[in-house]
Amino acid sequence: MKKHILILCALAALVSCKSLKEEWQPVFTDGYEEPWAAVPVSEKWLQENEGLEGFTTIQDLKSLYKGKPVVLSGNRWVKGQIISDDRSGNVYRELYIQDETGGIDLKIGKSSLYSEYRRGQWIYVKCDGLTLGAYSGMPQLGLEADQTVTNEYETTYIDLQAIIDLHIFKGEHAKAVKPVEVTEADIKRSLDAGFTGELWGKLVTIKGLTYKNEIFALMYPNPNLPHKSANPENRVFLSDSGNWGVTTWSCSKSAYIKYIQDGLWDAAEVGSGATRYGPITGSPAQYLPDGKTLDSFGTDAALSYKEIMVKYATANYISHYFTLGGTDVQVRTSGYAKFADEPLSKRVLSGAPVDITGILTLYVSSSGSAAQFTLVDEPSVSVIEP
């Protein structure tokens, strides 16, 4: 099995050298009104043609993970209903599926997935040869990472159609899954459980959240250069101090440039962790040793970081902090989402309680574990102001 996968991956590399690219890109979200016509498979068909013997629950599958990626083998299957789509652009190259025990992120490396898969549809996953891993603590199913990928990624995308067809089988359409209403106690239990927490990857509603007037964002001045944790000279954080003037759900490229040029982020520091260089109004030539400056930024070294950020501007993620009792819940939105530049309502900004529906995910960082929302629908649908 693995030999076949390696051969198929080699063929894919001839088509595109970018097949393992892990960063978000603009999402095609127009064109198809309904998923492509396809004859759904039945469990009986899978038994007769694919050797299906039974299903492992998603919760039991997660329990196989012991802190490092697991290459799955044997006749192991999971099934679940789709709870996501990428129509709004806030979910990219992945499907979230859930069963009665939990949810998981399925890394299908294609965009416009809503044109092929419908929310509520049953999906059957043949796990033999796939890898169970995590990204920032969040459970994922994908292909095994190789030496070309940083150890930040324990899995890579299943992005070749021939490999997708070996593992992912489309079942019957059904009614969309209803979100589960969860409490602060439920969230705390899942945070304590970590990777195996029941809520991660599930569609949920949290009632009574209030806005904290605080954001988190990580910007890469030149995203074409190395920008992982080992490259603090190419990282800028917006955190620890209010909302930095950002009152939209996220920021598109044009909004990102405007925030920078208006000086709202001038106090933001270059660096990460204990390594801090100074505000973005300074330059790499000011902050870095000569050799490091030339290696990292070349002819841009004399520019201020502010100018570099404008020169290589892209859309960005923004995470807005809400709170339920004493527990924080982030709402994370892509700058490529259709609603990226949509303002938070005045009532939300004033701290009025709201009910939010979305996919709850786990985010683990050096400062601890956090619950994080991914909105599937636009805020007008997902964020209800009672």
**What does the DSSP assignment read for 221-234?**
SSTTS--STT-GGG
- Let me know: does 250 contact 259? Beta carbons within 8 Å: no
Confidence of residue 240 (pLDDT cuts 50, 70, 90): confident
Domains, the chain, with CATH or none: 38-170 (2.40.50.200), 178-277+313-386 (no CATH)
3-state secondary structure of 143: strand
Confidence of residue 241 (pLDDT cuts 50, 70, 90): confident
**Cα torsion at 166, 104, 367, 180 (round to 10°)?**
170
Residues 313-357 have pLDDT tens digits of 999 999 999 999 999 999 999 999 999 999 999 999 999 999 999
pTM: 0.87
**Which one-letter amino acid corresponds to residue 312?**
Y
How, if at all, do strands 95-99 and 102-106 pair?
A: antiparallel
Confidence of residue 147 (pLDDT cuts 50, 70, 90): low
Mean pLDDT of the chain: 90
**What does the DSSP assignment read for 159-216?**
-SHHHHHHHEEE----PPPPPEEE-HHHHHHHHHHGGG-TTTTEEEEEEEEEEEEEEE
320's enclosing H/E stretch is strand 318-324
3-state secondary structure of 194: helix
Residues 99-112 have pLDDT tens digits of 999 999 999 999 99
